[in-house]
């Protein structure tokens, strides 16, 4: 197994609050990792640090074996680590199609001009393919503010995948999405990431989604990782049940929580 993302003794303090305490994590290529934890456990802090949005207080972050400490979010995206946010980061005054066209042009580092406009036939055709891949072609010409939350999330994730990242970090991909839409959304996202061969790490509050889609779970509590292992094992772990999931019924037998 090849390690794609590693953190060594990663710490983040906000004054007296320890939001990350000695996080030592190794994510291997191809893994689908779920990050769970109650509010304020440090999940977003972890994602913000590894994607360059937040400066760690101490520690080291390696992506493909190279330090990315101090690198800007843009440099980290270029190196192959993309992310989506809890609230989809789209251009609200633009249509779904135009949002994708902007992302395609950005991935090509294109500079628009009179002779080479952003809305080229090639980009429109590629954007239409992506709309189909993500099942949101019906919203092609809708303003992003006018489409349902689930479709908006899909457009946001599709945009994150446009630069062909090796790793994708998703902050609560199903938040604000109705129960009915969650499975369709996650099936679509997982199909896309499998096709692109992308390693995925996502923050999730819905344990049914975690059980269904991840190969590994990191359970955060108070800035620390209290369990790391297969979903059945982590969700059955007593400490996780006490501190994170609140004694939801466990459906599977545990195996190998470390």
Segment near ligand ATP (CB under 6 A), from 34-42, 89-97, 147-155, 232-240? Answer: 34-42
The burial class, CB within 10 Å (0-12 / 13-18 / 19+), for 53 is middle
Binding pattern for the stretch 7-26 against ligand ATP, x by CB under 6 A and - elsewhere = -------x--x-x-------
Q: Rounded to an integer, what distance in angstroms lies between the CA atom of residue 98 and that of residue 124?
A: 8
Q: Does 50 bind ligand ATP (CB under 6 A)?
A: no
Beta carbon nearer to ligand ATP, 187 or 242: 242
Q: Contact with ligand ATP (CB under 6 A): which of 7, 44, 84, 174?
A: 44
At 183, phi and psi to the nearest 5? Answer: -65, -45
* Residue of the chain from 25, 36, 42, 228 that contacts ligand ATP (CB under 6 A): 42
Q: Give the one residue of 5, 32, 45, 160 binding ligand ATP; rule: CB under 6 A.
A: 45
| One of 6, 25, 37, 233 touching ligand ATP (CB under 6 A) | 37
The residues near 144 (Cβ < 8 Å, ≥ 6 apart) are: 88, 90, 91, 92, 94, 95, 96, 99, 152, 155
Task: Classify burial at 106, counting beta carbons within 10 Å of its beta carbon; exposed 0-12, middle 13-18, buried 19 or more.
Answer: middle
Q: In the complex, which residues of this chain contact ligand ATP (CB under 6 A)? A: 14, 17, 19, 37, 39-45
């Amino acid at each position: 197994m090849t390690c794609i993302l590693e953190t060594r003794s990663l710490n983040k303090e906000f004054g007296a609050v320890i939001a990350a305490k000695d996080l030592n994590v190794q994510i291997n290529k191809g893994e689908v990792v779920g990050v769970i934890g109650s509010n304020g456990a440090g999940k977003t802090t972890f994602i913000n640090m590894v994607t360059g949005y937040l400066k760690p207080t101490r520690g080291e972050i390696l992506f493909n074996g190279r330090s990315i400490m101090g690198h800007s979010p843009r440099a980290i995206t270029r190196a192959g680590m993309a992310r989506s946010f809890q609230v989809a980061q789209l251009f609200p005054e633009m249509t779904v199609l135009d949002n994708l066209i902007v992302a395609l042009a950005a991935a090509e580092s294109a500079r628009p001009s009179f002779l080479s406009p952003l809305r080229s036939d090639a980009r429109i055709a590629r954007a239409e393919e992506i709309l189909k891949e993500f099942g949101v072609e019906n919203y092609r010409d809708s303003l992003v503010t006018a489409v349902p939350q689930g479709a908006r999330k899909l457009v946001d994730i599709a945009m994150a995948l446009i630069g062909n990242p090796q790793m994708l970090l998703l902050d609560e991909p199903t938040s604000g999405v109705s129960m009915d839409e969650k499975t369709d959304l996650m099936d679509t996202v997982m199909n896309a990431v499998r096709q692109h061969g992308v390693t995925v790490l996502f923050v999730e509050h819905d344990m049914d989604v975690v059980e269904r889609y991840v190969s590994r779970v990191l359970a955060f509590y108070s800035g620390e990782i209290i369990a790391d292992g297969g979903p059945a094992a982590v969700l059955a772990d007593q400490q996780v049940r006490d501190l994170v999931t609140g004694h939801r019924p466990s459906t599977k037998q545990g195996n190998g929580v470390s």
